[in-house]
Structure 1
Amino acid sequence: MRRSMVRRLSVPALALGLLAPALAACSDEPADLVIYSGRNEDLVDPLLDKLEEELDANVEVRYGDSAELAAQILEEGDKTEAALFFSQDAGALGALSKEGALKALPQPTLEKVDEAYRGGEGDWVGVSGRVRVLAYNPEKVPTPPDSVHDLTDPEWKGKVGFAPNNASFQAFVTGMRVLEGDDAAREWLKDFKANSPKTYESNIDILEAVDSGEVATGLINHYYWYEKAAEEGEDKLTAKLHFLPGGDPGGLVNVAGVGLLKGADAKEAGYAQKAADFLLGQEAQTYFAEETFEYPLIEGVAPVKGLTALDSLQAPKINLGELDSLKETLAMLQETGLV
């Protein structure tokens, strides 16, 4: 039976170099595979139960923030108990890749996923995708803007919701820095703040505010809308989604992904590899499509009905591994007064 330990860790604390103590195991029974998971336990715990059944092994999962766990892995080095890192975003995987903490993945594993959604060094691979979108209230906004740069115009003053402490918003800002440079990103953040956007704790809060008309539009990940539609019925939602065109930085496609950690013994590494392949298999990819409403990343598994096809999106072209500079992004958000 798998034992999971939940530990909520602070992204700002990580960025400032305040590392948490090593995570401790919850049981004296040794695990065949230890996974450090930056994915939310509520979202992926049922899937990882299936993984344990598939492996017929004792799997222990330790939960936390992806960026914090990446720092923890680097702190632990070869002494880490983890053999697999399951990250919420590509940036944390990119950080480990740059430090040489990940093992090369077999080519058959890598080739299951388009090269845009895997590490350039061949040492991590995306397992599910998400898109940054504008949620908008058509009663307030008949025609949503096609760029996040439009949101600094006077007509949007006080009408935009965002979650500055949310990891996905911070990844978007990092993406803008990579795509347009630090000076341009800093200027956008200053102009955005000057336009009095409304601050929320989470994507869910933003979507509810848009749906009620509290704000006209908001910056979220796509799957929150589909989650709410599944729970309440699409006909009950006023809010709609707008996928930004033209490679706009606001339309960033990010991935959750996995990497195998160096230092694991042969048995642990074998289980970790099987786990990676399981997450890229039909069952897991269908789970991501139908249960978490993310984009599956392998051929042959379709996204949830009504979701714009991944290959038809006009997402910005970016090396997702370069989303690793969270510390610089947080410093910029603090400098501009958004956090």
Structure 2
Amino acid sequence: MTAAVATILGVTLAACGGSGGSTADGSDPAAGSATDTATLTVYTDQHADLIKGLTDAYTAETGVEFNIQNDATVGQIEAEGGAGKADVFLSEDPTPVAQLGAAGLLAPVDQTTLDQVRPGLSSPKGLWAAYAARSRVLYYNPTVISQDQLPKTLAEIVEPQYAGKFAWAPSGAFVATTQYLIATQGEAKTTTFLEGIKANGVNEQKNGNVRDTVEAGKHAMGLSNHYYWWVLAGQKGGPDKLVSKIYHFPAEDAGNLVLSSGAGVLKASTHQAEAQKFIAWVTSKDGGQKLIADAPAEVSEAQYPVAPGVASSIAGDLSEVKSPAFDMDELADSSQAEDLLKQLGLSKG
């Protein structure tokens, strides 16, 4: 366990004192049940330290142990099928968990669990629950461009005055944004926008490169995810140590698109009840959400908690981000976006 994980576990357990308090008769719900000593197998493609923090905290509260497979894929789970080993899948982005739901491999999440999450972030079919989120943002360097000169919408960034002034990267979140644009404004308009991105912007290949080149002043602006900037701020000693800044578009806009990390219970799991309990804890404001809110950036990756009334101690409150409403289950099939990006020469290279 890293020092950061150990620290946040101590803070979380002291503050929470358990995931759900006591039962009606005053007994400890973490004691005495056979399911409380189960071992859950978690497949995940989320950042390893965050999963380590969440599962260690849950073990400390309940006695439930975990087998964790990092860098798990949808293809692996599909290949295992009914003989699958996973009880729970924890995604970094909505696409993989939405794909599992579309393939009929997830059991419905308990409604009481879904009700703990901000509306619009989980599967509308109830197949998975959001447990963390990240938002698309624009980084900018105020020594190169002032805030009042920034585009007011994502669409404006392809206008002539911004030619050669911004960076972008063909990440999974960029693909998701493209799929959102296709779904909401059509392929023709999205194609025109992407052609502008290619003509006006510089492909830095990775979000970390976008962040670092904007910070260095190589580019005035950069399209990316919010958490990369906050992670660098943590490494440098605080946001005041960075030259660059985060900019959220001022109105509800695709440039602010929020994308969920999703938690699902595999139908093939032989520990259905305990898997459901774990996801309930992960999404509860006194359990996993508090850990995500309070963890240092090296553990949480500065991701947003998704329970109403719980704000990240690093990035702030998700309610401040003006993201458009979006059915994230639509990301189960991003082939239209992937094909278009490939056609235009905007895929990972």
Deviation of the 1:334 alpha carbon: 0.9
Counterpart contact for 2:248–2:321, Cα < 8 Å: yes
Give ranges in structure 2 of 5+ residues lacking alignment. Answer: 2-37
The one-letter code of the counterpart of 1:172 is T
CA deviations 1:7-31 (Å, max 9, x no partner) are: xxxxxxxxxxxxxxxxxxxxxxxx8
Partner residue of 2:127 out of 106, 109, 123: 123
Counterpart contact for 1:179–1:318, Cα < 8 Å: no
Counterpart contact for 1:162–1:220, Cα < 8 Å: yes
Deviation of the 1:279 alpha carbon: 1.1
Counterpart contact for 2:130–2:263, Cα < 8 Å: yes
How far apart, in 1, do the equivalents of 2:84 and 2:315 lie? 42
Which residue of the partner structure matches residue 57 of structure 2? 50
CA deviations 1:79-98 (Å, max 9, x no partner) are: 11111110112222222222
Counterpart contact for 2:44–2:70, Cα < 8 Å: yes
Partner residue of 2:204 out of 200, 203, 222: 200
Counterpart contact for 1:47–1:284, Cα < 8 Å: yes
Deviation of the 1:226 alpha carbon: 2.0
Deviation of the 1:255 alpha carbon: 0.8
> Superposition pairs for residues 225-240 of structure 1, below 5 Å?
225-232=229-236, 233-240=238-245
The one-letter code of the counterpart of 1:149 is A
The more displaced of 136-145 and 44-53 is: 44-53
In the superposition, relative to structure 1, how do residues 314 and 301 fare at CA in structure 2: closer, same or farther (>3 Å)? closer
Counterpart contact for 2:93–2:259, Cα < 8 Å: yes
Counterpart contact for 1:134–1:219, Cα < 8 Å: yes
Deviation of the 1:199 alpha carbon: 2.1
Deviation of the 1:50 alpha carbon: 2.3
Q: Report the secondary structure of 2:269's partner residue.
A: coil
Which residue of the partner structure matches residue 160 of structure 2? 154
CA deviations 1:125-162 (Å, max 9, x no partner) are: 10011110000011111121122211211222222111
In the superposition, relative to structure 1, how do residues 181 and 71 fare at CA in structure 2: closer, same or farther (>3 Å)? farther
Greater Cα radius of gyration, structure 1 or 2: 2
Deviation of the 1:276 alpha carbon: 0.6
Deviation of the 1:44 alpha carbon: 2.9
Pair 1:296 & 2:305 matched: yes
Counterpart contact for 1:179–1:249, Cα < 8 Å: no
Which residue of the partner structure matches residue 20 of structure 1? none
Which residue of the partner structure matches residue 184 of structure 2? 179
How far apart, in 2, do the equivalents of 1:313 and 1:124 lie? 22
In the superposition, relative to structure 1, how do residues 270 and 242 fare at CA in structure 2: closer, same or farther (>3 Å)? same
Which residue of the partner structure matches residue 37 of structure 1? 44
How far apart, in 2, do the equivalents of 1:92 and 1:181 lie? 23
Which residue of the partner structure matches residue 173 of structure 2? 168
How far apart, in 2, do the equivalents of 1:201 and 1:49 lie? 34
Which residue of the partner structure matches residue 13 of structure 1? none
> Superposition pairs for residues 1-339 of structure 1, below 5 Å?
32-64=39-71, 69-142=73-146, 143=148, 144-164=150-170, 166-195=171-200, 197-232=201-236, 233-265=238-270, 268-281=271-284, 282-291=286-295, 292=300, 293-304=302-313, 307=316, 309-339=317-347
Identity among equivalent pairs (%): 29
Counterpart contact for 1:88–1:255, Cα < 8 Å: yes
TM-score normalised by structure 2 residue count: 0.81
Deviation of the 1:306 alpha carbon: 6.3
How far apart, in 2, do the equivalents of 1:247 and 1:311 lie? 12
Counterpart contact for 2:131–2:282, Cα < 8 Å: yes
The one-letter code of the counterpart of 2:97 is L
How far apart, in 2, do the equivalents of 1:245 and 1:317 lie? 16
How far apart, in 2, do the equivalents of 1:198 and 1:117 lie? 31
TM-score normalised by structure 1 residue count: 0.83
Deviation of the 1:110 alpha carbon: 1.0
Q: Report the secondary structure of 2:120's partner residue.
A: helix
How far apart, in 2, do the equivalents of 1:210 and 1:305 lie? 21
How far apart, in 1, do the equivalents of 2:315 and 2:178 lie? 28
The one-letter code of the counterpart of 1:315 is S
The one-letter code of the counterpart of 2:313 is V
